[in-house]
Amino acid sequence: MAEHFTSASSPFRAGYVALIGKPNVGKSTLFNALVGQQLSIVTKKPQTTRHRILGISTSERAQIIFLDTPGILEPKYRLHAAMMKSARLAMGDADIILWMIDMTAMHPQEDIRERIALDFLTELRKPVFLVINKIDLVPRERILPVIAESSAAFPFREIFPVSALKCLGVDELRDTLVSILPLHPPFYPPDIVTEQPERFFVSELIRARIFENLRDELPYSTSVDILDFKEEAGKKDVINAEIYVERESQKGIVIGREGKALKKIGQEARKDIEAFLERPVFLELHVKVREKWRQSDAWLKRLGYL
């Protein structure tokens, strides 16, 4: 298998790269740009990513397996603890770590060492790249001091200023990753872009629309469970999903007056799912109360967090 991808002048390289950072720094946007496909949901709210998501980029000379991870935070719920375990497992699996920071969130009085969370990085024995995101939104003269301070704070292998949204610096980052990946045959066939099943991405697309449509803290109390996913040749896929909330009052908000809020979430999610699957679907949504599901190991296991 390796010979198919290898030439005498350019031996094949393959390995794992984990994207790590605090919430809302743009990890999922960069992940999608590096993989070349919208696999990880992106919303304006922090802590959108809850699972480790795997995306595979294969070329003639390398295969990079990218791992998108939940944002690093101080756990308040069992769900948060599971998310942090997922991030640590990704770092353990990775050959290279990309630590991301948001350039627009940097303040002159802030210690760069806090922003890059040295307590996470110093325990690693792996190459760590610093990725400074959203450089298109700040003056250039603000970026250079951050690069200098970051270099002094930690021995990063490389530092890359990028704009994940506009794909500035993304190709250069990918090329450098390829150059230091281990010499290894591909781990996956070249036409595979992820190992997660379709129903996982369907639940994520529904959850993204919940985050986009519901205000304040309510989206963080919700999760999505795909109860049924039927495919029949020549017919629409039939998807039956439940949205879980923690209190009866939250259920009423998700449904909305005369069911309008839930209908809007369903219509938008159905369009997203059809675009992702490239086929028509019938989507049915229901809202159920599952008290304290974020603190329940049983529910976290059912929903794939444990």
For the stretch 14-37, pLDDT in tens is 999 999 998 999 999 999 999 999
- Indicate whether 37 and 69 sit together in one domain: yes
Residue 67, beta-bridge partner list = 18, 54
**Percentage of the residues of the chain whose pLDDT score is greater than 90:** 77
Residue 8 confidence class, pLDDT cut points 50, 70, 90: very low
Distance of alpha carbon 19 from alpha carbon 65, whole angstroms = 11
**Percentage of the residues of the chain whose pLDDT score is greater than 70:** 93
Specify the DSSP class assigned to residue 163: B
219-262 pLDDT, tens digit each: 999 999 999 999 988 889 999 999 999 999 999 999 999 999 99
Average pLDDT, the chain: 91
The strand pair at 158-161 and 223-230 is best described as unpaired
**Helix (H) or strand (E) run with residue 14 in it:** strand 13-21
Residue 153 confidence class, pLDDT cut points 50, 70, 90: confident
Residue 2 confidence class, pLDDT cut points 50, 70, 90: very low
Cβ atoms of 68 and 28 closer than 8 Å: yes
* Helix/strand/coil percent split, the chain, to 5: 40, 20, 35
**CATH number of the domain encompassing residue 260:** 3.30.300.20
- State the burial class of residue 139 (Cβ atoms within 10 Å of its Cβ: 0-12, 13-18, 19+): exposed
Q: Structural domain of residue 277, as residue ranges?
A: 198-302
- Indicate whether 221 and 144 sit together in one domain: no
Q: What is the pLDDT of residue 4?
A: 44
- Return the amino acid letter for 166: K
Tell me, yes or no, whether 185 lies in a domain. Answer: no
- How far does CA 272 lie from the centroid of its chain? 17
54 is written with which tokens? 């795997």
- Indicate whether 121 and 211 sit together in one domain: no
Q: Which of 180, 209, 237 is the last residue of a domain?
A: 180
- Indicate whether 164 and 38 sit together in one domain: yes
Distance of alpha carbon 276 from alpha carbon 103, whole angstroms = 31
92-138 pLDDT, tens digit each: 899 999 999 999 987 766 666 666 667 777 777 899 999 999 999 99
**Per-residue burial over 198-227, b = 16 or more CB atoms within 10 Å of its CB, e = otherwise:** bebbbbbbbbbbbbbbbeeebbbbbbbbbe
Summarize the confidence of residues 280-298 as an average pLDDT: 96
Higher-confidence residue: 122 or 65?
Answer: 65
Is 60 in a helix, a strand, or coil? coil
Tell me, yes or no, whether 187 lies in a domain. Answer: no
- Indicate whether 257 and 110 sit together in one domain: no
Strands (E), the chain: 13-21, 53-58, 62-68, 96-102, 128-133, 158-161, 223-230, 237-245, 281-289
Kindly tell me if the per-residue pLDDT of 190 is higher than 70: yes
Kindly tell me if the per-residue pLDDT of 80 is higher than 90: yes
List all residues 6 or more positions away from 125 whose beta carbon is below 8 Å from its beta carbon. none
Residue 191 confidence class, pLDDT cut points 50, 70, 90: very high
Summarize the confidence of residues 277-295 as an average pLDDT: 96
Cβ atoms of 80 and 59 closer than 8 Å: no
Summarize the confidence of residues 163-170 as an average pLDDT: 96
Kindly tell me if the per-residue pLDDT of 9 is higher than 70: no
Q: How many domains, the chain?
A: 2
